[in-house]
């Protein structure tokens, strides 16, 4: 007869502990009230000589011709594909971490996928970096998206080779 009350006491204590655990968990859940219009995933494939800095998307306000290829690495300058008014452009800055020992040409390729579709090439640029370049220098690369809007979900891959 002594086993019966201990058994019920154990079940009661286990139930109370479980309810406290659930209550504790439920009181620590937070909900964000921020609404996102769209989101995009970004992947960098950049060698250790550079750091990539995503500069996002912006509207193109004036038509511009493409940079002569390969662009020459000059800090503070822009290398771009042809840019068309009223399209969106994607920009990425590359920060030089390690200058090459010899003149080296790098290719910057941007692929993207919209609405869960296949990945397609947005644009490709080349840049020649000389041994005279200095660590910490930065150059911007701009790509015309070919349209005035973006369909989400959207993913973007930037590769430097």
- pLDDT of the chain, 161 residues: tens digit per residue: 455 556 677 777 777 777 766 654 444 444 444 443 444 567 778 888 898 999 989 999 999 999 999 999 999 999 999 999 999 999 999 999 999 999 999 999 999 988 888 989 999 999 999 999 999 999 999 999 999 988 888 888 888 99
CA distance 84 to 57: 14
3 state DSSP class of 75? coil
What pTM, to 2 d.p., does this model score? 0.73
The arrangement of secondary structure in 40-160, i.e. its CATH architecture, is: Sandwich (2.60)
Residue with the two structure tokens 């000589």: 49
DSSP one-letter code for 36? P
Q: What is the pLDDT of residue 151?
A: 84
Distance from first CA to last CA of the chain, Å, rounded? 79
Listed residue (100, 55, 112) closest to 78, CA to CA: 55
Cα separations (Å) of 54 from 20, 44, 65, 81, 130? 45, 9, 22, 17, 24
pLDDT attached to residue 21: 62
Q: Where are the domains of the chain?
A: 1-31, 40-160
Say how far apart CA 104 and CA 50 lie, in whole Å.
13
């Amino acid at each position: 007869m002594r086993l019966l009350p201990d058994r019920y006491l154990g079940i009661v204590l286990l139930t109370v502990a479980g309810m406290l655990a659930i209550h504790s968990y439920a009181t620590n859940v937070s909900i964000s009230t921020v609404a996102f219009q769209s989101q995009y995933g970004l992947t960098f494939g950049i060698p250790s000589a550079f750091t990539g800095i995503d500069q996002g998307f912006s509207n193109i306000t004036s038509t511009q011709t493409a940079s002569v290829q390969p662009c020459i690495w000059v800090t503070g300058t822009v290398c771009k594909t042809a840019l068309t008014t009223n399209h969106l452009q994607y920009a990425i800055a590359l920060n030089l971490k390690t200058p090459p020992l010899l003149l080296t040409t790098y290719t910057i390729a941007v692929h993207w996928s919209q609405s869960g579709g296949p990945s397609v090439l947005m644009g490709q640029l080349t840049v020649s970096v000389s041994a005279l370049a200095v660590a910490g220098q930065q150059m911007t690369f701009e790509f015309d998206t070919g349209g005035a809007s973006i369909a989400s979900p959207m993913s973007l891959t930037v590769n430097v080779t």
